[in-house]
Amino acid sequence: MTEKEKMLAGELYDSFDHELMELRDRARRLCEEYNRTPGDDRARQIQLLDALLGGHGTHVHVEPNVWFDYGFNTTVGENFYCNHDCIFLDCNKITFGDNVLIGPQCGFYAATHPTDPAIRLKGLEYAKPIHIGNNVWIGGGVKVLPGVTIGDNCVIGGGAVVTRDIPAGSVAVGNPAKVIKKV
């Protein structure tokens, strides 16, 4: 099994593997170009998103600056909007449904590290997928941690840290994020 296959399977993998380093370098170059592309050059922005992402719907808008570890592990649906300064540590799949709005300075962190320092010192890490449903609004400064699913029709309040699944039709806020009401 390659390190990339281990990464996508949620197993411990060596992030300094040559293939993975090349893939991250590719994503970094595409992000740098995307972030330098003038906002009125939508055609070029879409070309770069085509090259970077694992897939996307129509009516997709991503404000610069944006950063992906790999890019191809992230897919977004129809009517997707991502505000400025967001980070996607997509060492595993990060999927967004349709009609998703993301506020500025949000982070989606599929990457994680072992709690055992001896394993960490070997340079091993692992990643868990993140899934965001349809019709979700994620406020500014939200952080979504590895393995989390946010159901359809949710609102995540600004500054929340989402450490566990949020059921469909919920409003969640805080650190750690807690459901405070149903939509």
Residue among 61, 84, 113, 131 flagged as catalytic: 113
**Structural domain total, the chain:** 1
Annotated catalytic residue 113: yes
User: Residue 96 forms beta bridges with which residues?
Assistant: 132
Q: Do the strands 101-102 and 80-82 form a parallel or antiparallel pair, or are they unpaired?
A: parallel
Sign of CA pseudo-dihedral 73, 150, 128, 161: positive
Q: Positive or negative, the Cα torsion across 83, 84, 85, 90?
A: positive
Q: Which domain holds residue 58?
A: 3-182
Angle among Cα 66, 67, 73 to the nearest 5 degrees reads: 115
> Which CATH number do you get for residue 76?
2.160.10.10
**What pLDDT is stored for residue 110 in this prediction?**
98
pLDDT, position 102:
98
Residue 129: name the closest of 161, 96, 152 by CA.
96
Residues of the chain with pLDDT under 70: none
Instruction: Give the span between the Cα atoms of 79 and 116, in whole angstroms.
Output: 41
126-154 per-position pLDDT tens digit? 999 999 999 999 999 999 999 999 999 99
pLDDT at 57: 95
pLDDT of 123: 87
Element (H, E) at 42: helix 42-52
